[in-house]
A and B are shown apart, each in its own frame.
Chain A
Amino acid sequence: MIETNLDTTCHIGEVTFKNPVVMASGTFGFGREYGRVYDLSKLGGISGKGITLHPRPGNPGIRVYETPSGMLNSVGLENPGIQTFLQEECLFWETLDTVRIVNLGGGTIQDYIEGARLIDEDSNRRSAAGRRAVDMIELNISCPNVKAGGMAYGIKTSIAREVVREVRAATTLPLMVKLSPNAEDIADMAQMCEQEGAEAVSLINTVSGMKIDVHRRRSVFENLYAGLSGPAIKPIALRMVHQVCQRVSIPVVGMGGISCAEDLIEFVMAGAEAVQIGTYNFVNVQAGADLAAGVERFMAEEGIASLSEIRGIL
Protein backbone atom coordinates (compact mmCIF):
# COMPACT_ATOMS: atom_id res chain seq x y z
CA MET A 1 0.00 0.00 0.00
CA ILE A 2 1.39 3.39 -0.98
CA GLU A 3 1.10 6.18 1.56
CA THR A 4 -0.54 9.35 0.33
CA ASN A 5 1.21 11.83 2.61
CA LEU A 6 4.54 11.53 0.80
CA ASP A 7 5.96 14.79 -0.47
CA THR A 8 7.19 14.16 -4.00
CA THR A 9 7.01 17.78 -5.16
CA CYS A 10 9.86 19.55 -6.90
CA HIS A 11 10.35 23.22 -7.60
CA ILE A 12 11.94 25.33 -10.29
CA GLY A 13 11.51 29.03 -9.59
CA GLU A 14 7.81 29.43 -8.89
CA VAL A 15 6.82 26.35 -10.81
CA THR A 16 5.84 23.32 -8.75
CA PHE A 17 6.05 19.80 -10.16
CA LYS A 18 3.83 17.26 -8.40
CA ASN A 19 6.60 14.69 -8.72
CA PRO A 20 10.10 14.50 -10.22
CA VAL A 21 9.03 12.55 -13.33
CA VAL A 22 9.27 14.79 -16.39
CA MET A 23 9.10 13.40 -19.91
CA ALA A 24 12.16 14.27 -21.99
CA SER A 25 11.96 16.25 -25.18
CA GLY A 26 11.88 14.27 -28.40
CA THR A 27 10.68 11.03 -26.89
CA PHE A 28 7.14 12.02 -25.99
CA GLY A 29 5.85 14.13 -28.87
CA PHE A 30 3.58 16.72 -27.27
CA GLY A 31 2.01 14.04 -25.09
CA ARG A 32 -1.07 13.23 -27.18
CA GLU A 33 -0.01 9.67 -28.06
CA TYR A 34 0.98 8.65 -24.54
CA GLY A 35 -2.11 10.46 -23.24
CA ARG A 36 -4.16 7.71 -24.89
CA VAL A 37 -2.23 5.12 -22.89
CA TYR A 38 -2.26 6.67 -19.40
CA ASP A 39 -3.38 9.76 -17.52
CA LEU A 40 -0.78 12.49 -18.10
CA SER A 41 -1.73 14.20 -14.85
CA LYS A 42 0.31 11.47 -13.15
CA LEU A 43 3.43 13.16 -14.50
CA GLY A 44 5.48 15.91 -12.93
CA GLY A 45 5.86 17.49 -16.34
CA ILE A 46 6.30 17.13 -20.07
CA SER A 47 9.03 18.66 -22.18
CA GLY A 48 7.60 18.73 -25.68
CA LYS A 49 9.23 17.76 -28.92
CA GLY A 50 11.90 20.36 -29.73
CA ILE A 51 10.55 23.17 -31.87
CA THR A 52 12.25 25.80 -33.97
CA LEU A 53 11.11 29.12 -35.39
CA HIS A 54 10.54 27.61 -38.81
CA PRO A 55 9.32 24.07 -39.58
CA ARG A 56 12.09 21.52 -40.16
CA PRO A 57 11.77 18.24 -42.11
CA GLY A 58 14.51 16.62 -40.03
CA ASN A 59 17.26 14.37 -41.31
CA PRO A 60 16.95 12.00 -44.28
CA GLY A 61 17.91 8.32 -44.10
CA ILE A 62 17.97 5.97 -41.14
CA ARG A 63 17.15 7.78 -37.91
CA VAL A 64 17.52 5.11 -35.26
CA TYR A 65 19.98 2.33 -34.57
CA GLU A 66 19.99 0.17 -31.49
CA THR A 67 23.27 -0.30 -29.62
CA PRO A 68 24.13 -2.35 -26.51
CA SER A 69 21.80 -0.95 -23.81
CA GLY A 70 21.20 2.17 -25.81
CA MET A 71 20.18 3.68 -29.09
CA LEU A 72 21.53 6.20 -31.53
CA ASN A 73 19.09 8.67 -33.01
CA SER A 74 19.37 11.20 -35.76
CA VAL A 75 15.94 12.78 -36.07
CA GLY A 76 17.39 16.23 -36.71
CA LEU A 77 14.73 18.29 -34.96
CA GLU A 78 11.86 17.44 -37.32
CA ASN A 79 9.12 19.76 -36.09
CA PRO A 80 6.14 21.78 -37.33
CA GLY A 81 7.57 25.17 -36.33
CA ILE A 82 6.55 27.50 -33.53
CA GLN A 83 3.41 28.91 -35.15
CA THR A 84 1.86 25.48 -35.66
CA PHE A 85 2.89 24.48 -32.15
CA LEU A 86 1.23 27.57 -30.67
CA GLN A 87 -1.92 27.20 -32.76
CA GLU A 88 -2.44 23.45 -32.52
CA GLU A 89 -0.48 21.76 -29.76
CA CYS A 90 -1.11 24.50 -27.19
CA LEU A 91 -4.86 23.84 -27.42
CA PHE A 92 -4.07 20.37 -26.11
CA TRP A 93 -1.55 21.63 -23.58
CA GLU A 94 -4.17 24.01 -22.11
CA THR A 95 -6.09 20.94 -20.96
CA LEU A 96 -3.18 19.26 -19.16
CA ASP A 97 -2.71 19.11 -15.42
CA THR A 98 1.08 18.80 -15.46
CA VAL A 99 4.00 21.19 -15.96
CA ARG A 100 4.29 22.02 -19.67
CA ILE A 101 7.74 22.83 -20.97
CA VAL A 102 8.45 24.12 -24.47
CA ASN A 103 11.76 22.84 -25.80
CA LEU A 104 13.15 25.56 -28.03
CA GLY A 105 15.86 24.85 -30.60
CA GLY A 106 17.33 27.15 -33.17
CA GLY A 107 19.69 27.69 -36.05
CA THR A 108 20.89 31.25 -35.58
CA ILE A 109 20.83 33.37 -32.45
CA GLN A 110 18.15 35.46 -34.12
CA ASP A 111 15.98 32.34 -34.52
CA TYR A 112 16.30 31.57 -30.81
CA ILE A 113 15.42 35.14 -29.83
CA GLU A 114 12.47 35.38 -32.18
CA GLY A 115 11.25 31.96 -31.07
CA ALA A 116 11.43 32.86 -27.41
CA ARG A 117 9.67 36.15 -28.07
CA LEU A 118 6.79 34.45 -29.91
CA ILE A 119 6.34 31.89 -27.15
CA ASP A 120 6.44 34.63 -24.54
CA GLU A 121 3.85 36.80 -26.31
CA ASP A 122 1.54 33.86 -26.86
CA SER A 123 1.95 32.81 -23.25
CA ASN A 124 1.03 36.28 -21.99
CA ARG A 125 -2.05 36.35 -24.20
CA ARG A 126 -3.20 32.94 -23.03
CA SER A 127 -2.47 33.62 -19.38
CA ALA A 128 -4.49 36.84 -19.56
CA ALA A 129 -7.39 34.79 -20.89
CA GLY A 130 -6.93 32.20 -18.14
CA ARG A 131 -5.81 29.56 -20.64
CA ARG A 132 -2.19 28.99 -19.78
CA ALA A 133 -0.52 26.33 -21.93
CA VAL A 134 3.19 26.80 -21.28
CA ASP A 135 4.90 26.93 -17.89
CA MET A 136 8.56 27.00 -18.84
CA ILE A 137 11.02 27.16 -21.71
CA GLU A 138 13.75 24.57 -22.04
CA LEU A 139 16.44 26.09 -24.22
CA ASN A 140 18.09 23.44 -26.36
CA ILE A 141 21.64 24.47 -27.11
CA SER A 142 22.73 20.87 -27.29
CA CYS A 143 21.08 18.91 -30.07
CA PRO A 144 23.84 16.88 -31.74
CA ASN A 145 21.84 16.20 -34.88
CA VAL A 146 21.55 19.57 -36.54
CA LYS A 147 24.48 21.10 -38.32
CA ALA A 148 23.79 24.80 -37.81
CA GLY A 149 23.17 25.88 -34.26
CA GLY A 150 22.07 23.13 -31.94
CA MET A 151 25.12 21.65 -30.35
CA ALA A 152 27.37 24.23 -31.97
CA TYR A 153 26.23 26.50 -29.17
CA GLY A 154 26.48 23.73 -26.62
CA ILE A 155 30.23 23.18 -26.82
CA LYS A 156 31.85 26.48 -25.86
CA THR A 157 30.66 28.40 -22.83
CA SER A 158 31.55 31.77 -24.36
CA ILE A 159 29.33 31.13 -27.39
CA ALA A 160 26.49 29.63 -25.36
CA ARG A 161 26.52 32.65 -23.04
CA GLU A 162 25.30 34.94 -25.79
CA VAL A 163 22.37 32.66 -26.66
CA VAL A 164 21.34 32.24 -23.03
CA ARG A 165 21.63 35.98 -22.36
CA GLU A 166 19.56 36.96 -25.40
CA VAL A 167 16.85 34.36 -24.79
CA ARG A 168 16.73 35.31 -21.11
CA ALA A 169 16.07 38.91 -22.18
CA ALA A 170 13.37 37.82 -24.62
CA THR A 171 11.10 36.02 -22.17
CA THR A 172 9.75 36.28 -18.66
CA LEU A 173 8.86 32.59 -18.61
CA PRO A 174 11.06 30.44 -16.38
CA LEU A 175 14.08 29.36 -18.38
CA MET A 176 15.83 26.00 -18.16
CA VAL A 177 18.90 25.41 -20.33
CA LYS A 178 19.51 21.89 -21.62
CA LEU A 179 23.19 21.05 -21.62
CA SER A 180 25.25 18.75 -23.77
CA PRO A 181 27.66 16.16 -22.40
CA ASN A 182 29.79 17.13 -25.38
CA ALA A 183 30.41 20.55 -23.86
CA GLU A 184 34.04 21.39 -23.15
CA ASP A 185 33.22 21.78 -19.46
CA ILE A 186 29.64 21.09 -18.51
CA ALA A 187 29.96 22.52 -14.99
CA ASP A 188 31.31 25.77 -16.46
CA MET A 189 28.40 25.81 -18.83
CA ALA A 190 25.92 25.34 -15.98
CA GLN A 191 27.57 28.09 -13.94
CA MET A 192 27.29 30.43 -16.90
CA CYS A 193 23.55 29.67 -17.16
CA GLU A 194 23.11 30.53 -13.52
CA GLN A 195 25.03 33.79 -13.97
CA GLU A 196 22.87 34.71 -16.95
CA GLY A 197 19.68 34.27 -14.98
CA ALA A 198 18.41 30.83 -16.01
CA GLU A 199 16.09 29.27 -13.42
CA ALA A 200 17.46 25.76 -14.02
CA VAL A 201 19.66 23.56 -16.15
CA SER A 202 18.80 20.11 -17.50
CA LEU A 203 21.35 17.49 -18.45
CA ILE A 204 22.48 15.45 -20.22
CA ASN A 205 21.39 15.55 -23.84
CA THR A 206 22.54 12.61 -25.97
CA VAL A 207 26.20 11.71 -26.28
CA SER A 208 27.54 12.15 -29.78
CA GLY A 209 28.22 8.72 -31.27
CA MET A 210 28.68 6.81 -34.51
CA LYS A 211 27.75 3.56 -36.24
CA ILE A 212 29.40 2.27 -39.41
CA ASP A 213 27.76 -0.21 -41.77
CA VAL A 214 30.82 -2.31 -42.61
CA HIS A 215 29.23 -3.92 -45.66
CA ARG A 216 28.27 -0.63 -47.24
CA ARG A 217 31.46 0.96 -45.86
CA ARG A 218 29.68 4.08 -44.72
CA SER A 219 28.01 5.60 -41.71
CA VAL A 220 24.52 4.29 -40.99
CA PHE A 221 23.48 7.91 -40.56
CA GLU A 222 23.45 10.46 -43.35
CA ASN A 223 24.43 13.10 -40.79
CA LEU A 224 27.51 10.93 -39.98
CA TYR A 225 27.17 11.11 -36.19
CA ALA A 226 24.09 10.53 -34.06
CA GLY A 227 23.02 10.93 -30.44
CA LEU A 228 23.40 8.05 -27.99
CA SER A 229 20.80 7.63 -25.25
CA GLY A 230 19.53 4.93 -22.92
CA PRO A 231 20.98 2.96 -19.98
CA ALA A 232 24.42 2.90 -21.63
CA ILE A 233 24.93 6.60 -20.82
CA LYS A 234 23.47 6.62 -17.31
CA PRO A 235 26.75 6.46 -15.37
CA ILE A 236 28.11 9.38 -17.40
CA ALA A 237 24.93 11.38 -16.91
CA LEU A 238 24.89 10.73 -13.18
CA ARG A 239 28.51 11.83 -12.79
CA MET A 240 27.87 15.01 -14.77
CA VAL A 241 24.72 15.84 -12.79
CA HIS A 242 26.71 15.40 -9.60
CA GLN A 243 29.51 17.65 -10.85
CA VAL A 244 27.08 20.35 -11.95
CA CYS A 245 25.21 20.19 -8.64
CA GLN A 246 28.49 20.89 -6.84
CA ARG A 247 28.92 24.04 -8.88
CA VAL A 248 25.50 25.73 -9.09
CA SER A 249 22.70 26.56 -6.69
CA ILE A 250 19.88 26.67 -9.25
CA PRO A 251 17.84 23.46 -9.67
CA VAL A 252 19.34 20.76 -11.85
CA VAL A 253 17.11 18.40 -13.82
CA GLY A 254 18.94 15.16 -14.45
CA MET A 255 18.48 12.69 -17.26
CA GLY A 256 20.24 9.89 -19.09
CA GLY A 257 19.13 6.27 -19.15
CA ILE A 258 16.73 6.29 -16.22
CA SER A 259 14.77 3.03 -16.41
CA CYS A 260 13.44 2.39 -12.90
CA ALA A 261 12.61 4.23 -9.69
CA GLU A 262 16.00 3.37 -8.20
CA ASP A 263 17.74 4.97 -11.19
CA LEU A 264 15.68 8.09 -10.63
CA ILE A 265 16.53 8.16 -6.93
CA GLU A 266 20.24 7.99 -7.80
CA PHE A 267 19.90 11.25 -9.72
CA VAL A 268 18.08 12.87 -6.80
CA MET A 269 20.81 11.70 -4.41
CA ALA A 270 23.37 13.20 -6.82
CA GLY A 271 21.55 16.49 -6.35
CA ALA A 272 18.90 16.63 -9.06
CA GLU A 273 15.70 18.52 -8.27
CA ALA A 274 13.78 16.46 -10.83
CA VAL A 275 14.58 14.11 -13.68
CA GLN A 276 13.59 13.53 -17.27
CA ILE A 277 12.67 10.22 -18.84
CA GLY A 278 13.49 9.67 -22.49
CA THR A 279 14.44 6.38 -24.07
CA TYR A 280 12.66 4.37 -21.38
CA ASN A 281 9.37 5.56 -22.90
CA PHE A 282 10.18 3.26 -25.83
CA VAL A 283 10.87 0.30 -23.56
CA ASN A 284 7.77 0.69 -21.42
CA VAL A 285 4.86 2.61 -22.89
CA GLN A 286 3.65 3.34 -19.33
CA ALA A 287 7.08 4.51 -18.19
CA GLY A 288 5.86 7.82 -16.76
CA ALA A 289 3.02 6.36 -14.72
CA ASP A 290 5.16 3.43 -13.52
CA LEU A 291 8.04 5.67 -12.41
CA ALA A 292 5.74 8.12 -10.63
CA ALA A 293 4.28 5.19 -8.68
CA GLY A 294 7.75 3.67 -8.25
CA VAL A 295 9.10 6.80 -6.56
CA GLU A 296 6.28 6.68 -4.02
CA ARG A 297 6.86 2.98 -3.45
CA PHE A 298 10.57 3.55 -2.88
CA MET A 299 9.90 6.42 -0.48
CA ALA A 300 7.36 4.39 1.49
CA GLU A 301 9.68 1.38 1.69
CA GLU A 302 12.66 3.46 2.77
CA GLY A 303 10.70 5.64 5.17
CA ILE A 304 11.34 8.85 3.25
CA ALA A 305 8.67 11.50 3.73
CA SER A 306 10.09 14.09 1.33
CA LEU A 307 12.58 13.88 -1.51
CA SER A 308 14.41 16.81 0.09
CA GLU A 309 15.65 14.33 2.73
CA ILE A 310 17.79 12.54 0.18
CA ARG A 311 18.44 15.22 -2.41
CA GLY A 312 22.14 15.90 -2.92
CA ILE A 313 23.29 13.71 -0.06
CA LEU A 314 26.42 12.75 -1.96
Chain B
Amino acid sequence: MATIISNRRVAEGIYVIHAAGRFEAKAGQFFMVRGWESYPLLSRPLSVYDQNEHGVKFLYKVAGEGTERLSRMRAGEELTLLGPLGNGFPAAEGRTALVGGGIGIAPLFYTARHLEQADLYLGYSVEVYEEQEFRSIGHPVTINCGGRVLDGIDFDEYDTIFVCGPEPMLRAAQLKSNLSSGRAHVYLSLENRMACGIGACLVCSVGCEQGRKKACSEGPVFRAEEVVLA
Protein backbone atom coordinates (compact mmCIF):
# COMPACT_ATOMS: atom_id res chain seq x y z
CA MET B 1 0.00 0.00 0.00
CA ALA B 2 1.18 3.48 -0.84
CA THR B 3 -0.29 6.54 0.85
CA ILE B 4 -1.37 9.35 -1.43
CA ILE B 5 0.59 12.55 -0.76
CA SER B 6 -1.38 14.65 -3.23
CA ASN B 7 -3.75 14.28 -6.19
CA ARG B 8 -3.67 17.46 -8.23
CA ARG B 9 -5.92 18.44 -11.15
CA VAL B 10 -3.72 20.01 -13.83
CA ALA B 11 -6.23 20.39 -16.67
CA GLU B 12 -9.73 19.27 -17.60
CA GLY B 13 -9.77 15.54 -16.82
CA ILE B 14 -5.99 15.41 -16.24
CA TYR B 15 -4.43 14.75 -12.83
CA VAL B 16 -1.09 14.11 -11.17
CA ILE B 17 -1.21 11.70 -8.25
CA HIS B 18 1.76 11.38 -5.91
CA ALA B 19 2.09 8.26 -3.78
CA ALA B 20 4.62 7.75 -1.00
CA GLY B 21 7.18 4.99 -0.98
CA ARG B 22 10.59 4.07 -2.25
CA PHE B 23 10.46 2.73 -5.77
CA GLU B 24 13.14 1.92 -8.28
CA ALA B 25 11.38 2.31 -11.59
CA LYS B 26 13.38 2.89 -14.76
CA ALA B 27 12.26 5.47 -17.28
CA GLY B 28 9.31 4.18 -19.30
CA GLN B 29 8.23 1.53 -16.81
CA PHE B 30 4.73 1.41 -15.35
CA PHE B 31 2.73 0.24 -12.35
CA MET B 32 -0.61 -1.54 -12.13
CA VAL B 33 -2.54 0.88 -9.92
CA ARG B 34 -5.74 0.43 -7.93
CA GLY B 35 -7.27 2.64 -5.30
CA TRP B 36 -10.12 0.35 -4.40
CA GLU B 37 -10.82 -3.18 -3.19
CA SER B 38 -12.89 -5.17 -5.63
CA TYR B 39 -14.67 -2.70 -7.90
CA PRO B 40 -13.70 -1.81 -10.58
CA LEU B 41 -12.26 -5.26 -11.14
CA LEU B 42 -8.97 -4.56 -12.87
CA SER B 43 -6.02 -2.41 -11.92
CA ARG B 44 -5.00 0.41 -14.25
CA PRO B 45 -1.61 0.46 -15.98
CA LEU B 46 -0.06 3.91 -15.43
CA SER B 47 3.45 4.84 -16.52
CA VAL B 48 5.81 6.60 -14.17
CA TYR B 49 5.60 10.36 -14.60
CA ASP B 50 8.21 11.10 -11.97
CA GLN B 51 9.97 9.41 -9.11
CA ASN B 52 12.08 10.62 -6.22
CA GLU B 53 13.09 9.54 -2.73
CA HIS B 54 9.63 10.46 -1.42
CA GLY B 55 7.54 8.48 -3.88
CA VAL B 56 6.23 8.06 -7.37
CA LYS B 57 3.99 10.30 -9.49
CA PHE B 58 1.54 9.37 -12.21
CA LEU B 59 0.14 11.82 -14.76
CA TYR B 60 -3.19 10.37 -15.85
CA LYS B 61 -6.26 11.17 -17.85
CA VAL B 62 -9.76 10.27 -16.70
CA ALA B 63 -10.80 7.79 -19.35
CA GLY B 64 -13.17 5.44 -17.55
CA GLU B 65 -14.48 4.35 -14.20
CA GLY B 66 -11.10 3.42 -12.72
CA THR B 67 -9.32 6.66 -13.50
CA GLU B 68 -12.47 8.59 -12.54
CA ARG B 69 -12.36 6.98 -9.12
CA LEU B 70 -8.65 7.65 -8.90
CA SER B 71 -9.30 11.34 -9.60
CA ARG B 72 -11.62 11.55 -6.58
CA MET B 73 -9.04 10.14 -4.16
CA ARG B 74 -7.41 12.40 -1.60
CA ALA B 75 -4.18 12.75 0.33
CA GLY B 76 -3.96 10.12 3.07
CA GLU B 77 -5.90 7.47 1.16
CA GLU B 78 -4.14 4.33 0.00
CA LEU B 79 -3.17 3.04 -3.43
CA THR B 80 -2.17 -0.51 -4.22
CA LEU B 81 0.77 -0.48 -6.62
CA LEU B 82 2.16 -3.48 -8.46
CA GLY B 83 5.48 -2.74 -10.09
CA PRO B 84 7.59 -1.32 -11.50
CA LEU B 85 6.68 -3.39 -14.56
CA GLY B 86 7.74 -3.58 -18.19
CA ASN B 87 11.01 -2.98 -19.98
CA GLY B 88 11.11 0.82 -20.07
CA PHE B 89 13.08 2.89 -22.56
CA PRO B 90 16.55 1.71 -23.58
CA ALA B 91 19.62 3.89 -23.04
CA ALA B 92 19.41 6.87 -25.38
CA GLU B 93 22.42 7.33 -27.61
CA GLY B 94 23.47 10.47 -29.46
CA ARG B 95 21.04 13.25 -30.24
CA THR B 96 17.72 12.39 -28.69
CA ALA B 97 14.12 13.46 -29.20
CA LEU B 98 11.25 12.63 -26.84
CA VAL B 99 7.87 12.90 -28.49
CA GLY B 100 4.59 12.69 -26.59
CA GLY B 101 1.01 13.01 -27.73
CA GLY B 102 -1.79 13.70 -25.24
CA ILE B 103 -1.45 11.70 -22.05
CA GLY B 104 1.42 9.95 -23.85
CA ILE B 105 3.68 12.72 -22.52
CA ALA B 106 3.48 11.00 -19.10
CA PRO B 107 6.50 8.68 -19.33
CA LEU B 108 8.69 11.37 -20.94
CA PHE B 109 9.15 13.60 -17.89
CA TYR B 110 11.09 11.12 -15.76
CA THR B 111 12.89 9.96 -18.90
CA ALA B 112 13.94 13.51 -19.78
CA ARG B 113 15.13 14.24 -16.25
CA HIS B 114 17.72 11.49 -16.61
CA LEU B 115 19.08 12.53 -19.99
CA GLU B 116 21.95 14.98 -20.38
CA GLN B 117 20.40 16.35 -23.52
CA ALA B 118 17.12 15.79 -25.32
CA ASP B 119 14.65 17.79 -27.36
CA LEU B 120 11.10 17.47 -26.06
CA TYR B 121 8.11 17.64 -28.37
CA LEU B 122 4.77 17.69 -26.57
CA GLY B 123 1.50 17.47 -28.48
CA TYR B 124 -1.87 18.40 -27.00
CA SER B 125 -5.31 18.37 -28.55
CA VAL B 126 -7.12 21.08 -26.54
CA GLU B 127 -5.40 22.27 -23.40
CA VAL B 128 -1.68 22.46 -22.57
CA TYR B 129 -0.67 21.10 -19.15
CA GLU B 130 2.52 20.54 -17.16
CA GLU B 131 4.42 22.82 -19.55
CA GLN B 132 6.33 24.60 -16.75
CA GLU B 133 7.32 21.28 -15.21
CA PHE B 134 8.72 20.05 -18.51
CA ARG B 135 10.50 23.37 -19.15
CA SER B 136 12.02 23.29 -15.66
CA ILE B 137 14.10 20.25 -16.66
CA GLY B 138 16.16 22.57 -18.85
CA HIS B 139 15.89 20.81 -22.21
CA PRO B 140 14.40 22.55 -25.27
CA VAL B 141 10.61 22.05 -25.28
CA THR B 142 8.40 22.43 -28.35
CA ILE B 143 4.67 22.60 -27.70
CA ASN B 144 2.03 21.79 -30.31
CA CYS B 145 -1.62 22.24 -29.45
CA GLY B 146 -4.32 21.16 -31.87
CA GLY B 147 -1.94 20.04 -34.60
CA ARG B 148 0.32 17.11 -35.31
CA VAL B 149 3.40 17.24 -33.16
CA LEU B 150 5.31 14.81 -35.36
CA ASP B 151 5.08 17.12 -38.37
CA GLY B 152 7.62 19.51 -36.91
CA ILE B 153 10.32 16.89 -36.35
CA ASP B 154 13.01 15.84 -38.82
CA PHE B 155 13.83 12.27 -37.77
CA ASP B 156 17.16 12.49 -39.60
CA GLU B 157 18.41 15.06 -37.10
CA TYR B 158 18.32 12.48 -34.32
CA ASP B 159 20.02 9.27 -33.30
CA THR B 160 17.38 8.17 -30.77
CA ILE B 161 13.66 8.99 -30.75
CA PHE B 162 11.19 7.88 -28.09
CA VAL B 163 7.50 8.23 -28.95
CA CYS B 164 4.47 7.71 -26.74
CA GLY B 165 0.92 8.60 -27.71
CA PRO B 166 -2.31 7.33 -29.23
CA GLU B 167 -2.09 4.62 -31.85
CA PRO B 168 -2.62 6.85 -34.92
CA MET B 169 0.36 8.88 -33.77
CA LEU B 170 2.46 5.76 -33.28
CA ARG B 171 1.55 4.63 -36.79
CA ALA B 172 2.55 8.05 -38.14
CA ALA B 173 5.88 7.78 -36.29
CA GLN B 174 6.41 4.35 -37.81
CA LEU B 175 5.75 5.74 -41.28
CA LYS B 176 8.09 8.68 -40.70
CA SER B 177 10.74 6.30 -39.48
CA ASN B 178 10.37 4.17 -42.62
CA LEU B 179 10.72 7.24 -44.84
CA SER B 180 13.77 8.57 -42.98
CA SER B 181 17.40 7.77 -43.73
CA GLY B 182 17.44 5.29 -40.88
CA ARG B 183 19.84 7.35 -38.75
CA ALA B 184 17.50 7.43 -35.78
CA HIS B 185 16.62 4.42 -33.66
CA VAL B 186 12.91 4.96 -33.07
CA TYR B 187 11.12 3.41 -30.10
CA LEU B 188 7.39 3.39 -29.44
CA SER B 189 5.76 3.05 -26.03
CA LEU B 190 2.38 1.34 -26.35
CA GLU B 191 -0.71 1.98 -24.23
CA ASN B 192 -2.49 -1.38 -24.56
CA ARG B 193 -5.28 -2.52 -22.28
CA MET B 194 -3.93 -4.93 -19.68
CA ALA B 195 -5.25 -7.35 -17.09
CA CYS B 196 -2.46 -9.14 -15.19
CA GLY B 197 0.35 -6.70 -16.02
CA ILE B 198 3.06 -9.34 -15.59
CA GLY B 199 2.97 -11.42 -18.76
CA ALA B 200 0.56 -14.22 -17.89
CA CYS B 201 -2.79 -13.45 -19.50
CA LEU B 202 -1.90 -12.35 -23.07
CA VAL B 203 -4.69 -9.78 -23.40
CA CYS B 204 -2.12 -7.08 -24.23
CA SER B 205 -0.13 -9.08 -26.75
CA VAL B 206 0.99 -7.31 -29.93
CA GLY B 207 2.03 -8.62 -33.31
CA CYS B 208 5.79 -8.29 -33.86
CA GLU B 209 8.12 -9.39 -36.62
CA GLN B 210 9.26 -12.28 -34.41
CA GLY B 211 5.70 -13.34 -33.50
CA ARG B 212 3.52 -12.08 -30.68
CA LYS B 213 4.99 -10.17 -27.75
CA LYS B 214 3.45 -9.11 -24.46
CA ALA B 215 3.13 -5.34 -24.15
CA CYS B 216 3.31 -5.58 -20.37
CA SER B 217 6.39 -7.71 -19.82
CA GLU B 218 8.24 -7.55 -23.18
CA GLY B 219 7.14 -3.94 -23.76
CA PRO B 220 5.59 -1.47 -23.42
CA VAL B 221 8.55 -0.07 -25.40
CA PHE B 222 9.22 -1.63 -28.80
CA ARG B 223 11.45 -0.76 -31.73
CA ALA B 224 9.29 1.05 -34.28
CA GLU B 225 10.18 -1.42 -37.02
CA GLU B 226 9.40 -4.56 -35.04
CA VAL B 227 5.82 -3.89 -33.98
CA VAL B 228 2.81 -4.35 -36.25
CA LEU B 229 0.13 -1.79 -35.36
CA ALA B 230 -3.38 -2.71 -36.39
Which residues of A are interface residues toward B (Cβ below 8 A)? 26-29, 33-34, 36-37, 49, 57-58, 60-66, 68-71, 73, 75, 78, 230-231, 259, 279, 281-283, 285
Are A27 and B39 closer than 8 Å at their CB atoms?
no
Is B203 positioned at the interface, with any CB of A under 8 Å from its CB? yes
Cβ contact of A283, chosen from B41, B202, B203, B211, cutoff 8 A: B41
Given A64-B201, A64-B203, A71-B42: 8 more A-B contacts, CB < 8 Å:
A36-B198, A60-B230, A65-B193, A66-B64, A66-B65, A73-B195, A282-B197, A285-B82
Please list the 9 inter-chain residue pairs (A to B) with the smallest Cβ-Cβ separation, ordered nearest first.
A29-B200, A64-B203, A63-B203, A282-B195, A33-B198, A33-B200, A33-B199, A78-B202, A75-B202
Are B200 and A27 closer than 8 Å at their CB atoms?
yes
With A33-B217, A64-B195 already in contact, the answer to whether A75 and B203 are too (CB < 8 A) is: yes
Rounded to whole angstroms, the CA-CA distance of A78 and B200 in the bound complex is 12
Within the complex, the shortest CB–CB distance from A206 to chain B, in Å, comes to 13
- Chain B residues contacting A69 (CB-CB under 8 Å) are 38-39, 41
- Chain A residues contacting B196 (CB-CB under 8 Å) are 27, 33, 281-282, 285
Q: Which of B65-83 contact A (CB under 8 A)?
A: 65-66, 82
- Chain A residues contacting B66 (CB-CB under 8 Å) are 66
- Chain B residues contacting A58 (CB-CB under 8 Å) are 202, 205, 212
B42, B64, B194: residue with the most chain A Cβ atoms closer than 10 Å: B42
Is B94 positioned at the interface, with any CB of A under 8 Å from its CB? no
The number of residue pairs between A and B whose CB atoms lie closer than 8 Å in the complex comes to 90
Are B199 and A63 closer than 8 Å at their CB atoms?
no
- Chain B residues contacting A36 (CB-CB under 8 Å) are 198
Within the complex, the shortest CB–CB distance from B90 to chain A, in Å, comes to 22
Are B41 and A63 closer than 8 Å at their CB atoms?
no
User: 14 A-B Cβ contacts within 8 A?
Assistant: A33-B200, A34-B198, A63-B204, A66-B64, A69-B38, A73-B203, A75-B202, A78-B202, A78-B212, A230-B41, A231-B38, A281-B201, A282-B195, A282-B201
Q: Which of B181-230 contact A (CB under 8 A)?
A: 193-205, 207, 211-212, 217, 230
With A33-B196, A57-B212 already in contact, the answer to whether A66 and B217 are too (CB < 8 A) is: no
The secondary structure that dominates the B interface is loop
Is B96 positioned at the interface, with any CB of A under 8 Å from its CB? no
With A27-B196, A57-B212, A78-B212 already in contact, the answer to whether A63 and B42 are too (CB < 8 A) is: no
- Chain B residues contacting A230 (CB-CB under 8 Å) are 41
Within the complex, the shortest CB–CB distance from A15 to chain B, in Å, comes to 24
Rounded to whole angstroms, the CA-CA distance of A61 and B194 in the bound complex is 13
- Chain B residues contacting A28 (CB-CB under 8 Å) are 200
Rounded to whole angstroms, the CA-CA distance of A282 and B205 in the bound complex is 16
The secondary structure that dominates the A interface is loop
Rounded to whole angstroms, the CA-CA distance of A131 and B198 in the bound complex is 28
Query: Closest residue to A229 on the B side, CB-wise?
Result: B41
Within the complex, the shortest CB–CB distance from B30 to chain A, in Å, comes to 15
- Chain B residues contacting A61 (CB-CB under 8 Å) are 230
- Chain A residues contacting B201 (CB-CB under 8 Å) are 26-27, 29, 64, 73, 75, 281-282
Are B40 and A63 closer than 8 Å at their CB atoms?
no
Within the complex, the shortest CB–CB distance from A189 to chain B, in Å, comes to 27
Within the complex, the shortest CB–CB distance from B217 to chain A, in Å, comes to 7
- Chain B residues contacting A73 (CB-CB under 8 Å) are 195, 201, 203
Rounded to whole angstroms, the CA-CA distance of A283 and B38 in the bound complex is 7
B66, B82, B200: residue with the most chain A Cβ atoms closer than 10 Å: B200
Cβ contact of A63, chosen from B64, B82, B205, cutoff 8 A: B205
- Chain B residues contacting A33 (CB-CB under 8 Å) are 196, 198-200, 217
- Chain B residues contacting A62 (CB-CB under 8 Å) are 193
Rounded to whole angstroms, the CA-CA distance of A61 and B40 in the bound complex is 23
Within the complex, the shortest CB–CB distance from A145 to chain B, in Å, comes to 11
Are B205 and A29 closer than 8 Å at their CB atoms?
no
Are A66 and B40 closer than 8 Å at their CB atoms?
yes
Query: Closest residue to B195 on the A side, CB-wise?
Result: A282
- Chain B residues contacting A75 (CB-CB under 8 Å) are 201-203, 205
Within the complex, the shortest CB–CB distance from B159 to chain A, in Å, comes to 33
Within the complex, the shortest CB–CB distance from B210 to chain A, in Å, comes to 12
